Structure 1
Amino acid sequence: MANTYHQIYIQLIFAVQGRHSLLKKEFRQDFFKVISSMIKELGHFPIIVNGMSDHVHCLVGLNPDKKISDLVKDLKTNSSHFLKDKKWVPGSFKWQNGYGVFSYSRSHLNNVYEYILNQEYHRKRTFKEEYLGFLKKYEIEFKEEYVFEFIQDE
């Protein structure tokens, strides 16, 4: 029987509902480790998870037998429950609907890894500018009114 070989790398980006800064610095790195474990439990290979108080970036080696939409749905659901159970976020916690997913070749992994690792240090743009920049860079057609709900004072 022949084996199946694959090499599929994606970056997922998703945001806290309303872009509220709920992922506090005190627990953020521990939370990102939990998300990384969840990615592994869902059958994929987590490379790095990092982000800011209002959004998350995940670089993942994708299992081709599983759907990206299922990964994101399960990741958002499980991580929301985790935050509620830990009471790390006051009140209710929700992720915004939607997400960004971008694919990369192996030769780009180091640059993407460094970009995600250094989220706090390259913060020269707002999340909205960063996210719309991804959509434009990868020539993804979009209508801005359907892209994440952004806080008006950015």
Structure 2
Amino acid sequence: MYVHAIFGTTGRVNTIKPEIEEKLHSYMAGIFKNMNSPAIKKNSVPDHIHILFKLSKNHALAKVMEEVKKSTSKWMKEHGIIKFTWQIGYGAFSIQYNKVEIVISYIENQKEHHKETCFKQEFEKLIKENQMVDYNSNFFWDR
């Protein structure tokens, strides 16, 4: 199963700086690989990240996301971003194989996309497009 995961920093604080972004992405790719869920495409802007990956048949989505967020949060602190934390929630959308290239392009264009659209608008548009009925905005947009 292909999964497009999205999650932000707590309070949407702009802590994913350009100078650490590639190292964070590489570290994160290693975690996905260790969870037998290879990352296909990653991209971030200062307050959130998008990842397309193949979910392992051996690990639940929640476990993969927990490990990625926990490990990268610790890694960011070890690299000088002391007050770094990820939000509690995350979005995860299953992707049909024939849509993978579209999602890759979407993730690649995040920096350009966010010149016009904020994270909340983007995420809630994805919720509508994917007809998610059990979306709890209070959980996702933690304070």
TM range (shorter): over 0.9
Moved over 4 A (4+): none
Question: Quick check: 2:44–2:50 contact (8 Å CA) kept in 1?
Answer: yes
Change (3 A) 1:45 1:26: same
Higher-Rg structure is 1
Amino acid at match of 1:18: G
1:125 alignment partner, SS class: coil
Question: Quick check: 1:36–1:48 contact (8 Å CA) kept in 2?
Answer: no
- The answer as to 2:50 corresponding to 1:50 is no
- The answer as to 2:124 corresponding to 1:132 is yes
**C-alpha distance in 1 between matches for 2:109 and 2:22:** 13
Q: Kindly state the Cα deviation for residue 143 of structure 1 after the two structures are TM-superposed.
A: 4.0
Q: Kindly state the Cα deviation for residue 31 of structure 1 after the two structures are TM-superposed.
A: 1.0
Aligned residues: 141
**C-alpha distance in 2 between matches for 1:114 and 1:136:** 20
**Structure 1 alignment gaps of length 5 or more:** 1-7
**C-alpha distance in 1 between matches for 2:66 and 2:139:** 19
- The answer as to 2:92 corresponding to 1:110 is no
Amino-acid identity (%): 26
Deviation sequence 1:72-103 (CA, Å, 0-9, x none): 0000110011111121x1x3211111100001
Normalised TM-score (structure 1): 0.86
Q: Which has the higher helix share?
A: 2
**Structure 2 alignment gaps of length 5 or more:** none
Q: Kindly state the Cα deviation for residue 15 of structure 1 after the two structures are TM-superposed.
A: 0.7
Farther off after superposition, 108-117 or 133-142: 133-142
Deviation sequence 1:120-153 (CA, Å, 0-9, x none): 0122210000001111111112343333137xxx
- The answer as to 2:53 corresponding to 1:60 is yes
Q: Pick from 31, 49, 68: which aligns with 2:24? A: 31
